[in-house]
Structure 1
Amino acid sequence: MRLRLAAVLAATALALLPATASAAPAYPDPLPLTGQQTVHDPTVHRLKDGRYVAYSTGGVLGARLSTDLRHWTDAGNAFTTPPAWWHDYNSTADPWAPDLTYRDGRYWLYYAVSSWGTNHSAIGVATSPTGLPGTWTDHGPAFTSEKTDTWNAIDPNVIRADGRLWLAFGSYWTGIRMTELDPRTGKALPGAPVHHLATRPDAPYAVEGPAIVRHGGYYYLFASYDTCCAGVDSTYKIRVGRSKSVTGPYTDSTGKPMLDGGGDLLLAGHGRYTGPGGESVFRTRGKTWLAYHYYDATDDGTPKLGLNELRWRTGWPVLK
């Protein structure tokens, strides 16, 4: 009897304890996919022909196609031959982190050309009538950075806001920046200021890979924090803040500025899904989706495509 009473009292005491703040949050697994899933830094878009295309880092911007977002096939590369100017920024002409949009009757593909550890970098731009691999015409650099700059021209993301065209980019060190584009050429407006959107107070200020989307009266900035590209040792995670203006200031749900290390944690590694990041946001058939890569801990850390539906709760994004 005493043992039974002691057990009841212990169970009651545990039930009355407050939930611990250190409990690991639950993150949803990505949508189950089949076919060719290997991607890094994906950008996804539904084309006019009804198919989905995903471009990503690797090859000469590797391409994947799908009819339903679930089964993906290898579709070659965006470019058959690297443009000659890429060699000025990368000895192997290796582009990174594409961004695909559609406007003015054409598809626009932005991408970064750089070398690891330097901000001698460029964001290039190409156009296509169909958005399909092998149909792209390159137009050269849209924006560049040099070693004397305090930003890095990588990881582009283009958004239209208030009748103007904007390029968010960067950067690992010093974080996320933004400048205005000429909508006719798709290139940076000469003399346009460079706005600072997000960073963190601790070196090496690891914030990169912006993706901005408007919802309601706010612009939401998604960004990748911490260490990329280390397979199962990657610590990438995705944080988000919002602003009434596309150029900021962006704050998280507690009011902490993203320029001071703020940002609500939206997605982090869990289970086999290590280091999610390199994200982009796209809308299709009335739904909003977050696309990203993760490193598969059950497949030697191979980078793979992650897709989760993005919903909104009390003015903030949540993943399904």
Structure 2
Amino acid sequence: MRRILTILTLSLAPASAYAEALGGNIYIHDPSIAVLDTGMVSFATGVERAPDGGMPRTKTSPDGITWQEAGALPGGMPKWVTTELGFTPRNVWAPSVFAKDGTHYLYYSVSSFGHNDSAIGLMTNAALDPADPTQGWVDQGMVIRSHEGEDFNAIDPFRIDVGDKAYLSFGSFWDGIRQVELDPATGMLLDGAQPMPIASRGGGAIEAPAILEHDGQFYLFVSFDSCCRGRLSTYRIMVGRADTVTGPYVDATGKPMLDGGGTELLATKGRMIGPGGQEVFERDGAPWLAFHFYDDDDGGRPKLELAPIGWTDDGWPTLPALD
């Protein structure tokens, strides 16, 4: 979801993982987290047919535990979206926030469910205010586009910078996850850059890429299977790793992610149904995972969860055991 996101070091209260740890308003889809000097801000998929035009929604937390709604980004659907797509989407999907040199870059997706007539746009904010994270955003327009008939889908963006280069990973279904180089200053597509495949299930369900750099290797997190069905959701979080950000990524058995590989990190267990839509962020200098799940104890409603990432002796990510 998406880079490591820290701008300033923030000492947050420790939180045990999963469900019981978080409180307040944690109803969310596709979370992306910014860590600021006075707390945390989440960005998430907008509400369909909402008066605000389905724009990305924000929440704030002083400690990463108790969350409150801060509202949707104002202004309604950016004008370029309807002009480019030929229709007005019901909502904006899977916004992903990235911080660099004091500026926040918010990548977002516009599409219609089940189609790859889609685009990824960008908003920037030179002074994100944790007291009101909905203000200060300037839309920069379209970053990349996919059309019906092409074999990729321009949704679920995630940015990571490596050295003096920047990369955007994205994708859902079709031929899987793509990656393209960005201009690190503007956040827009680098001139002449072409999207390259980094993970695929041959048309099967894979989406929501997020990349983490750790100890000289790169870890690609994705979601397999079905989102957005409440208690019937089968989402699960998978991971592979590579020696370079561009891949090739393989799972723990050595199977390439381009050939459907992926090592399962988290799946349905107990009250937590269909965890996915994940992103990585940095908290107190350590990597964490943000994701949503469907709470079987609350009618299958989607909720936020944050979990610290640990590591096995052979360098694979782990999450705390479920209760």
User: Which of 1 and 2 has higher RCO (CA within 8 Å, sep 6+)?
Assistant: 2
In the superposition, the TM-score normalised over structure 1's length comes to 0.87
Q: CA deviation at 1:91?
A: 2.4
- Specify the code of the residue in structure 2 equivalent to 1:46: V
Counterpart in 2 of 1:104?
101
Q: Which runs of 5+ in 2 are unaligned?
A: 1-16, 48-54
* Pair 1:159 & 2:154 matched: no
Q: Quick check: 1:55–1:78 contact (8 Å CA) kept in 2? A: no
Q: Quick check: 1:51–1:68 contact (8 Å CA) kept in 2? A: yes
Counterpart in 1 of 2:10?
none
Residue by residue over 1:62-93, the C-alpha shift from the partner in whole angstroms, topping out at 9 and shown as x without a partner, is: 10000111000110113342211223445245
Please show how residues 240-259 of structure 1 align to structure 2 within 5 Å: 240-259=239-258
Please show how residues 273-312 of structure 1 align to structure 2 within 5 Å: 273-312=272-311
Question: C-alpha distance in 2, partners of 1:92/1:188?
Answer: 23
- Specify the code of the residue in structure 1 equivalent to 2:234: T
Question: C-alpha distance in 1, partners of 2:220/2:176?
Answer: 12
Question: C-alpha distance in 2, partners of 1:105/1:45?
Answer: 12
Please show how residues 42-61 of structure 1 align to structure 2 within 5 Å: 42-47=31-36, 49-59=37-47, 60-61=55-56
Q: Quick check: 2:89–2:112 contact (8 Å CA) kept in 1? A: no
Q: Quick check: 1:53–1:66 contact (8 Å CA) kept in 2? A: yes
Q: CA deviation at 1:188?
A: 1.1
Question: C-alpha distance in 2, partners of 1:295/1:143?
Answer: 31
Q: Quick check: 2:120–2:143 contact (8 Å CA) kept in 1? A: yes
Counterpart in 2 of 1:119?
116
Question: C-alpha distance in 2, partners of 1:74/1:172?
Answer: 31
Q: Quick check: 1:78–1:135 contact (8 Å CA) kept in 2? A: no
In the superposition, the TM-score normalised over structure 2's length comes to 0.86
Q: Quick check: 2:99–2:105 contact (8 Å CA) kept in 1? A: yes
Question: C-alpha distance in 2, partners of 1:93/1:78?
Answer: 15
- Specify the code of the residue in structure 2 equivalent to 1:299: D
Identity level (%): 45
Q: Which runs of 5+ in 1 are unaligned?
A: 1-27
- Specify the code of the residue in structure 2 equivalent to 1:32: A
Counterpart in 1 of 2:25?
36
Question: C-alpha distance in 1, partners of 2:108/2:20?
Answer: 26
- Specify the code of the residue in structure 2 equivalent to 1:120: D
Q: Quick check: 1:311–1:317 contact (8 Å CA) kept in 2? A: yes
Please show how residues 73-92 of structure 1 align to structure 2 within 5 Å: 73-87=68-82, 88-89=84-85, 91-92=88-89
Q: Quick check: 1:80–1:134 contact (8 Å CA) kept in 2? A: no
Q: CA deviation at 1:193?
A: 2.3
SS at match of 1:172: coil
- Specify the code of the residue in structure 2 equivalent to 1:154: I
Q: Count the aligned residue pairs.
A: 290
Residue by residue over 1:287-311, the C-alpha shift from the partner in whole angstroms, topping out at 9 and shown as x without a partner, is: 2210000011122211110111111
Residue by residue over 1:90-115, the C-alpha shift from the partner in whole angstroms, topping out at 9 and shown as x without a partner, is: 52451100110111320110010011
CA RMSD of aligned residues (A): 1.4
Question: C-alpha distance in 2, partners of 1:236/1:171?
Answer: 13
Q: Quick check: 1:86–1:93 contact (8 Å CA) kept in 2? A: no
Counterpart in 1 of 2:185?
184
Question: C-alpha distance in 2, partners of 1:143/1:30?
Answer: 36
